[in-house]
Structure 1
Amino acid sequence: MFLTGIHLSVIYLSKEAIVLPMYRKSLLILLLILIAVAGGTYYGCYTQEKESVQLDVAANPAVQQGGTEKGAEITVYVTGAINKPGVVTVKEGARTADAVNACGGLLPTADAEKVNMAQVLKDGQQVRVPEKAVPETTAAAKSGSVNPAAKSGTSSKAAPSGPVNINTASAEELDTLPGIGPAMAQRIIEFRETEGAFTAIEDIKKVKGIGEAKFEKMKDKICI
């Protein structure tokens, strides 16, 4: 009987010794499975996030350039009745009002109605703001004299005190030049606004209607 009990105990311990390594092995396998699942989940999330970032970068070129996206700029020349006339740089798509403000705004004598402040500017364009025309009677009253031509009912061009700057002159000033009437003066101004400032006095011959003959008459009376 005692031997039988010992025999049974030995059998039980032997089974337990066999079960214990199998239990540990099962735990190890389960642990490896959990690690593999966790690793796969992490890799999947990381890959998805990386692809999302790459798509965002491809969709937004500004990110590829360090996060800064600078708009294109243009350069225009503002002259006339302006506080600070000169060359200014504004954003592409800017309007005449933006360039005028960049030059300190209009002078009190500026004739703003003659300028389209809403016009979209082009690179290299010239913007000229004319001054308000002073009525001849007012000017004569201030000087205390009356133009004889006004008495007789005829008009005459006032001779300029010096050469006329064809880049900045108003229509009235251009009208004083030989062979230039009001229509031609306006044509010169429109040419400046579309083509830019004259770089030489000979360039005025590019204006339609001004040939060599007219240029010879005015060349000593103009400058740039």
Structure 2
Amino acid sequence: MWVQLRCGLEPKALAALAVILVVGAGFAAQHFWAGRPQSVSAPALIQQGSAQAGSGPVAASGSETSDAEPAPAPSPGSPPADARQAARIVVDVSGKVRHPAVLKLPAGSRVADAIEAAGGVRPGTDMTGLNRARVLTDGEQVVVGGPAAPVPSGIGAGAGPGAGSGVPVGPISLNSATAEQLETLPGVGPVLAQHIIGHRTQNGGFRSVDELRDVNGIGDRRFEDLRNLVRP
């Protein structure tokens, strides 16, 4: 009333002026409230264990990459992986095995590995005289269940031709024959049989019959007597 009487304002103009003042006061109060200082909490630290347990992209991003362990380096002197895979030998596995075949095996494989790769031996196969721990050589032939041990004289007489003669049927394998089997060969005694076994042990077996000449105690004449009676 005092403003209306003092300034000579009409009621409508006074009401409009009051509305403007109220709105202005509201904007001022809102601006003051929005600009007040506020406290900000620090972000939580990420533990190393949780970062490693996270997904692949998170664990590999930022500074977390430096915590990852590097891939183990190959030991000094070890051949590359490609060279190890390329070192293979070829052997012929025949005889009384389930799957006779020419096989490719890793270098350093033994006779037992070749037999297993060929499916194993057939039931009832006599493994006597076969050195399954011998290291194989490239191009070697492994005959499983080869010539049987000779029948002693005087036993099984009349059982058929050759029974009790002491002569084995078929050539003897130089790589698998025992000392007793080698002694059945003409001119081969216990000492020479041990020389043959020692030679195949030192050289990783016989690759051909001609290598029999290198055995101590076997000359040209004795070699001619043995060459048709033995095989690698």
Based on CA coordinates, which of the two structures has the bigger radius of gyration?
2
> TM-score, normalised on structure 1?
0.50
